[in-house]
Amino acid sequence: MRINLNTPDYRSLVLGVETVVPLKDGSFVTAVNFDNAASTPPLVSVMQKMNEFGPWYSSVHRGTGYKSQLCSDLYEKARQVVAEYVNADLKYSAVIFVNNTTEAINKLSYRLQAEIGKGVVLSTQMEHHSNDLPWRDKYLLDYITAADSA
């Protein structure tokens, strides 16, 4: 494998990758995050922006105060940016923000069931549990084999 010496240090872009944690024997090691599906560490730049915006944060579509109106306006602008990115016309489509991928998959499975009924979903044995359960009771699941490309 060839290493490109001009490649930036990607580890420095992620918050907490150098965090040292204690072990039961009293020694310390650099933590390894094996749970990216549930809690991926944020990028340093994202956390910086969140901290900058923190004093302005307020409820979206819940108040008439300045901060609530500011957040509501930014929220709607974000919806427009996402729609433009995926080339969606908001007259006919919706951009829905959810808490995480698991919630999105659950909402999608219910919405598709309402639209098309009991269809067939192709999946693999490799899927995370959160991407397997939402389909099981609403669809016919067909588990396909992930072939080795070598």
- Residues 6-50 pLDDT 10s: 667 888 899 998 999 999 999 999 998 887 766 788 999 999 999
Report CA dihedral (120, 122, 126, 129) to the nearest 10 degrees: -30
User: Do 105 and 65 lie in a common domain?
Assistant: no
Within-domain flag for 90: yes
Within-domain flag for 122: yes
CA distances to 4, 72, 80 from 59, in Å? 46, 8, 19
User: Do 140 and 113 lie in a common domain?
Assistant: yes
Within-domain flag for 7: no
**CA 35 to centroid of chain Cα atoms:** 13
pTM of the model: 0.68
User: Do 80 and 126 lie in a common domain?
Assistant: no
Quick one: average pLDDT of 57-78?
Answer: 96
User: Do 77 and 107 lie in a common domain?
Assistant: no
User: Do 104 and 90 lie in a common domain?
Assistant: no
Measured distance CA(30)–CA(23) in Å, rounded: 10
Evaluate whether 119 touches 139 at the Cβ level (below 8 Å).
Answer: yes
Q: How many domains does the chain have?
A: 3
Q: Tell me: pLDDT of 1 over 50.
A: no
Structural domain range at position 129: 98-150
* Sign of the Cα pseudo-torsion (145, 1, 40, 85, in order): negative
The predicted pLDDT at position 35 comes to 73
User: Do 62 and 91 lie in a common domain?
Assistant: yes
